[in-house]
Structure 1
């Protein structure tokens, strides 16, 4: 059985503009990273677009809202998902999008605010 591709519109959140349409063979989740034309983006939101055909609604395409991002060098696995930064720090946000409250741009290594959780 062949993997079905999903027609996906990629929308940059700021400044708001469409980056185009792509065919994906995976389902992008918020917090995941997405590479397009040599630039890395973080998926912030995913919306489904449906179309009425023969009296039934069918998934027509997906729109993902993204922001430009440098692929983080520091990641930690927490409860089966990857989060940004060092999850052993008390200030870590345990988020796929935000590293921490006191040093969101990072890096965690050598951070003067590091406090063991």
Structure 2
């Protein structure tokens, strides 16, 4: 079965509600952004749902748990994945979900705590 043909349920984590279902042409990982009805969400978790048919478990659908965010403009590519903020700063978390501990909302270019690695 083609993974891209499976229905994907999009669930908002807070407040907990289902936003709807869609068949995506890509496989979103935690940290990726998803545009849905004009709003941007970040994927926090992906769960696979299986169904027992004829004595075998088959992938039935995928659930994406998302959180509403504003897409950050300052991203850096490190070792093949995107991180939020300026990765040359000592305090950068090197994460797709969080910028840093001292200035998590950013922006990095005017941060008074910036220290190069």
TM > 0.5 fold call = yes
The CA RMSD over aligned residues, in Å, is 1.3
Q: Are the aligned partners of 1:6 and 1:25 in contact in 2 as well (CA < 8 Å)?
A: no
Stretches of structure 2 that go unaligned for 5 or more consecutive residues are: none
Q: Which runs of 5+ in 1 are unaligned?
A: none
Give the conservation status (yes or no) of the 8 Å contact 2:4–2:23: no
Residue range with higher mean Cα deviation, 30-39 or 2-11: 2-11
Give the whole-Å Cα distance in 1 for the aligned partners of 2:67 and 2:48: 19
Aligned to 2:30: 30
TM-score norm. by structure 1 comes to 0.95
Structure 1: 4+ residue segments shifted above 3 A: none
Aligned pair count?
116
Q: Does residue 11 of the first structure (1) align with residue 11 of the second (2)?
A: yes
Separation in structure 1 between the aligned mates of residue 61 and residue 3 of structure 2, nearest angstrom:
16
Whether the 8 Å contact between 2:4 and 2:27 is mirrored in structure 1 is: no
Scaled by the length of structure 2, what TM-score is found?
A: 0.95
Q: Give the secondary structure class of the aligned counterpart of 1:11.
A: strand
